[in-house]
């Protein structure tokens, strides 16, 4: 009987010692599985947001103020890959008697890509609104849908393109014989195409070339944006960009081609 009691006591003592280790081991396994699932979810459903700001103020012989701000966001989900962009450009020159605004533009656009079962192939929906006070239009807007695809995508570079039919709607400035300004409604079917190439030059430098065009029977709009971004510290970077905008539907007094060269700071919020 004493031997039996001694054996039972030893067995109970071993169970008490082993049980916490089993619980801890189970918790470690569950924790690792949870963290792995969380990382995979964050990777497949990542969202980024960056803000761009550039300003030039000159006084003395020339009184000029130039301002540019932009917000860009990319949202990568399991079934969707979305891009959002908005920007504001403003420039004014001051004289002794008045202030003359020479540039004032607001642009907002969004592209939603639905991922198809076949790798890198997608269907897209695109919409934009462009208000440029000095291009001969009160505003221009467009919506398009079609085919989008990644030709390739790796750690060093990626190339994507999209093409599809769409519809453009705008209000164009009209000048009558008495030099009175008015606006006429303009709309037509278009074909929209875009190319987006990105290259990582190093851990801190990135290059991007973006080209888009909207072609119709009466007007053609194209935009080319070449950018070079270099990280400064952590989430702060410097960006050099050269933008060309072509719009052959403007008034005869306006140039079809306009360019912008900007040096700005970019902050990566997340």
In this structure, of 29-33, 53-57, 78-82, 102-106, the range with the lowest mean pLDDT score is: 29-33
pLDDT at 185: 86
User: 124 pLDDT exceeds 50?
Assistant: yes
Residues paired with 77 in a beta bridge: none
pLDDT at 59: 80
Give the pLDDT confidence of 142-171 residue by residue, as tens digits. 999 999 999 998 989 999 999 999 999 998
Q: What is the structure's pLDDT at 180?
A: 61
pLDDT (0 to 100) of residue 138: 86
In this prediction, residue 148 carries a pLDDT of: 97
Confidence of residue 174 (pLDDT cuts 50, 70, 90): confident
Mean pLDDT of the region 130-142: 89
**pLDDT confidence bin for 23, thresholds 50/70/90:** very low
Q: pLDDT tens digits, residue range 238-270?
A: 999 999 999 886 655 667 888 999 999 999 998
**If you average pLDDT over every residue of the chain, what do you get?**
84
Instruction: Judge whether 149 and 121 are in contact, CB under 8 Å.
Output: yes
Give the integer Cα–Cα distance in Å for 238 and 136.
33
pLDDT per position as a tens digit, 55-84: 988 887 778 899 999 999 999 999 999 999
Spatial separation of the C-alpha atoms in residues 265 and 53, rounded to whole Å: 5
Mean pLDDT of 105-134: 95
- Please report, rounded to a whole number, the percentage of residues in the chain having pLDDT higher than 70: 79
Compute the distance between CA of residue 121 and CA of residue 233 in angstroms, rounded to an integer: 36
Fold for the domain defined by 45-268: Porin (2.40.160)
pLDDT of residue 109: 98
Distance (Å, rounded) from C-alpha 52 to C-alpha 86? 10
């Amino acid at each position: 009987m004493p031997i039996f009691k001694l054996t039972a006591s030893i067995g109970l003592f071993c169970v008490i010692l082993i049980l916490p280790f089993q619980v801890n081991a189970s918790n470690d396994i569950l924790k690792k599985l949870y963290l792995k699932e969380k990382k995979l979810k964050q990777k497949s459903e990542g969202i980024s947001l960056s803000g761009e700001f550039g300003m030039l103020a000159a006084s003395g012989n020339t009184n000029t103020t130039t301002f540019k701000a932009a917000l860009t966001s990319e949202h990568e989900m399991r079934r969707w890959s979305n891009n959002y962009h908005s920007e504001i450009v403003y420039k004014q020159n001051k004289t002794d008697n008045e202030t003359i605004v020479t540039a004032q533009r607001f642009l907002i656009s969004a592209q939603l890509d639905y991922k198809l079962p076949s790798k890198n192939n997608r269907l897209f929906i695109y919409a934009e609104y462009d208000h440029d006070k000095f291009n001969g239009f009160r505003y221009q807007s467009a919506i398009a849908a079609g085919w989008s695809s990644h030709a390739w995508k790796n750690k060093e570079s990626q190339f994507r393109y999209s093409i599809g039919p769409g519809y453009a709607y705008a209000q164009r400035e009209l000048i009558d014989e008495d030099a009175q300004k008015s606006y006429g409604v303009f709309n037509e079917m278009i074909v929209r195409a875009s190319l987006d190439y990105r290259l990582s030059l190093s851990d801190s430098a990135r290059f991007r070339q973006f080209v888009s065009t909207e072609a119709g029977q009466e007007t053609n709009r194209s935009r080319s944006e070449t950018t070079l971004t270099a990280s400064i510290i952590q989430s702060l970077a410097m960006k050099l960009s050269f933008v060309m905008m072509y719009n052959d539907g403007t008034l005869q007094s306006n140039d079809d081609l306009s360019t912008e060269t900007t040096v700005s700071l970019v902050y990566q919020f997340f």
